[in-house]
Chains A and B, each alone.
Chain A
Amino acid sequence: MENSKTTILRNRPQPNVTYPLKVIYCGHCTLPVEYCEYYPEYDRCKLWLQQNLPAEFEKLISISGGIDDENSEEKKRQKRGGKGMIKTKKKEGPKQICVSRATRGKKKSVTVVTGLNSFGIDLKIAAKFFGTKFACGSSVVGDDEIVIQGDVKDDLFEIIPEKWSEIDEDFIEDLGDLKR
């Protein structure tokens, strides 16, 4: 147990390997692919891997010994409580972007965009983008709100899905005129 245990694993750059190494991270749980099985939503991870990196998926399945094997293991595993449970990140509510118009003075108006944050978009960059696109003032207000000066509501429906491909036009809701 003494010396055989203290084997040196790897503590120097290995020849024939160029650094930095590229590690594949799961798009669902952000862990390296090999640790997905310890994430509570392993099924979702597998789905992601299958869709995005089929080659890696094949490898993983061949290592773990097929899908059927996994399922039987799951039944044995304790599902409730225990210190070893990893908690999933809480997902925020439904993803939606709301655009509305608010009046400013008698004949001027501003456009309010909320909900961009839930798509993981940097609000500062988005505000700057709107500003340059519409040639107007645009600023981040509060936690998850962008105010664009001028009425550009109709244009937003086209421009937002164009700029961020993950957002579909259906996610954007028109709230009409709102008072500020």
Chain B
Amino acid sequence: MFKKFDDKENISTVQQLKSSVQKGIRTKLVELYPLLEGYIDTILPKKENFRIVKCHEHIEILINSSGEQLFFRQREGQWLPCLKLLHKYPFFLPSEQVDKGAIKFVLSGANIMCPGLTSPGALLTSVDKGTTVAVMAEGKNHALAVGITLLSTDDIIKINKGVGIENCHYLNDGLWQMKPIK
């Protein structure tokens, strides 16, 4: 999604949101990620206004008052956390671990294939299809990508072929390199 993303070219507008809309987004985020409940006030303080950055290809990015990117989504899809946020709160997404050989492909933006998720170096957390997951790597502590599962984990093990997780945001992509927006 952010493979060819440039913060100068692809942003159309930065918008201050109405407080009612902000409230809606906040409750939606807690609904999506229940584990975030105790921390939502530190991520999105109630007193501060957050803003939304509208980009090309119907991408919207949520930024806080100091301009850091927090969540993003495409069209009316679910909100996905940015990796910098996920590194700070790694617990709120189920994590899937890929083996060592897959790391460099994921880092260049490839979708995560099933064999990389079932080999000896990999670990799976059982989730359904269409869940937002953090992609971890063998021997590493931090997430390297955020994705959406295209198959349930049971199917991933059973089919063991093709794309298992869609890579939405990975280290060093356009969103990662985006500077804080004033």
* A residues in contact (CB < 8 Å) with B: 1-2, 5-14, 19-23, 29-32, 34-35, 38-39, 83-87, 89, 120, 122, 124-125
**In the bound complex, do residue B93 and residue A11 qualify as a contact, i.e. CB atoms below 8 Å apart?**
yes
Sampled A-B contacts (24; CB under 8 Å): A2-B157, A6-B153, A6-B157, A8-B125, A9-B94, A9-B125, A10-B95, A11-B93, A12-B35, A13-B39, A19-B39, A19-B91, A20-B39, A20-B89, A23-B87, A29-B172, A30-B177, A31-B172, A35-B103, A35-B107, A84-B108, A89-B177, A120-B179, A124-B182
Interface of A is mostly: loop
B128-156 interface bits toward A, Cβ cutoff 8 Å, 1 = contact, 0 = none = 00000000100011101000000001000
Instruction: Tally inter-chain residue pairs, CB-CB below 8 A.
Output: 101
Q: Which of the residues A2, A5, A38, A84 comes within 8 Å of B123, measured between beta carbons? A: A5
Contact (A9, B88) CB under 8 Å given A20-B42, A30-B176: no
Q: Which of the residues B123, B142, B179 comes within 8 Å of A9, measured between beta carbons? A: B123
How far is B104's CA from A39's CA once the two chains are assembled, in angstroms? 9
**In the bound complex, do residue A84 and residue B126 qualify as a contact, i.e. CB atoms below 8 Å apart?**
no
Contact (A35, B140) CB under 8 Å given A8-B125, A19-B88, A89-B177: yes
Complex: chain B residue closest to A14, CB-CB: B91
Leading 3 A-B pairs by shortest Cβ distance: A20-B88, A6-B126, A23-B87
Q: Which residues of A contact B118 (CB under 8 A)?
A: 1, 5
Interfacial residues of chain B within 147-182, with CB under 8 A of chain A in the complex: 153, 157, 171-172, 176-177, 179, 182
**In the bound complex, do residue A21 and residue B88 qualify as a contact, i.e. CB atoms below 8 Å apart?**
yes
Q: Which residues of A contact B182 (CB under 8 A)?
A: 122, 124-125
* B residues in contact (CB < 8 Å) with A: 35, 38-39, 42, 87-97, 103-105, 107-108, 110, 118, 122-126, 136, 140-142, 144, 153, 157, 171-172, 176-177, 179, 182
Contact (A9, B136) CB under 8 Å given A20-B88, A23-B142, A84-B105: yes
**In the bound complex, do residue A86 and residue B172 qualify as a contact, i.e. CB atoms below 8 Å apart?**
yes
Q: Which residues of A contact B38 (CB under 8 A)?
A: 13
How far is B94's CA from A6's CA once the two chains are assembled, in angstroms? 11
How far is B176's CA from A89's CA once the two chains are assembled, in angstroms? 13
Contact (A30, B125) CB under 8 Å given A5-B118, A21-B88: no
Complex: chain B residue closest to A11, CB-CB: B94
How far is B138's CA from A91's CA once the two chains are assembled, in angstroms? 31
Complex: chain A residue closest to B126, CB-CB: A6
How far is B176's CA from A124's CA once the two chains are assembled, in angstroms? 23
Complex: chain B residue closest to A86, CB-CB: B108
Complex: chain B residue closest to A23, CB-CB: B87
How far is B172's CA from A83's CA once the two chains are assembled, in angstroms? 16
Complex: chain A residue closest to B124, CB-CB: A6
How far is B42's CA from A125's CA once the two chains are assembled, in angstroms? 28
**In the bound complex, do residue A35 and residue B125 qualify as a contact, i.e. CB atoms below 8 Å apart?**
no
How far is B172's CA from A89's CA once the two chains are assembled, in angstroms? 9
Contact (A32, B142) CB under 8 Å given A20-B89, A21-B87, A38-B104: yes
Q: Which residues of B contact A85 (CB under 8 A)?
A: 104, 108
